[in-house]
Amino acid sequence: MDFMIRYRFIIVPLITWFVIQTFKVLWDLITTKKFNFKRILGAGGMPSSHSAIVMVLTVMTGREVGFDSYIFALALVFSCVVMYDAAGVRRAAGKQARLLNKIIETPGLTGNQVQEKLVEVLGHTPVEVFVGALIGIIVGSIF
């Protein structure tokens, strides 16, 4: 038990990530009737595990050192950057990948031979980020 308490800032976020990613695999299996193990490590989807992880760390940090500390402020700003990136930059990259895949698949439009499609699920919708952050806040408050 001492190990869990001592390393809770590593263990709790990793368990949170694993549970969310496992949920995504199971949800994908239920909705598509296909087992896609790549979802365990893949980005995107509901909820955002990135948002959950950074918010778990932020809330745990605030509870440990105080919500008025500079370390909490650092964690909060870091969390905001990660969540902005997930819903902004990475989501835009996913949209571009989807468009490029369509262009490449259009007969006669390009002579390029492509061995593999670009990954289209990279980022998150704002709702996916919000739900992930909410999960992170709840888990961080519990632990």
Domain range for 15: 2-88+123-142
- The answer to whether position 99 is within a domain reads no
- The answer to whether position 127 is within a domain reads yes
With a threshold of 0.85, does the pTM exceed it?
no
- Average pLDDT of every residue of the chain: 84
- The answer to whether position 112 is within a domain reads no
- The answer to whether position 61 is within a domain reads yes
Q: What is the arithmetic mean of pLDDT over 82-103?
A: 72
Residues of the chain with pLDDT > 70, as a percent, come to 76
- The answer to whether position 24 is within a domain reads yes
Number of domains present in the structure of the chain: 1
Q: What is the arithmetic mean of pLDDT over 78-103?
A: 76
Please name which of 118, 75, 70, 112 lies closest in space to residue 93, comparing C-alpha atoms. 118
- The answer to whether position 111 is within a domain reads no
Rounded Cα gap, residues 9 and 3, in angstroms:
11
pLDDT of residue 139: 97
- The answer to whether position 114 is within a domain reads no
Question: Which range, 5-9, 19-23, 53-57, 103-107, is most confident?
Answer: 53-57
Q: What is the arithmetic mean of pLDDT over 52-70?
A: 97
Answer whether residue 112 shows pLDDT above 70.
no
pLDDT of residue 71: 97
- The answer to whether position 101 is within a domain reads no
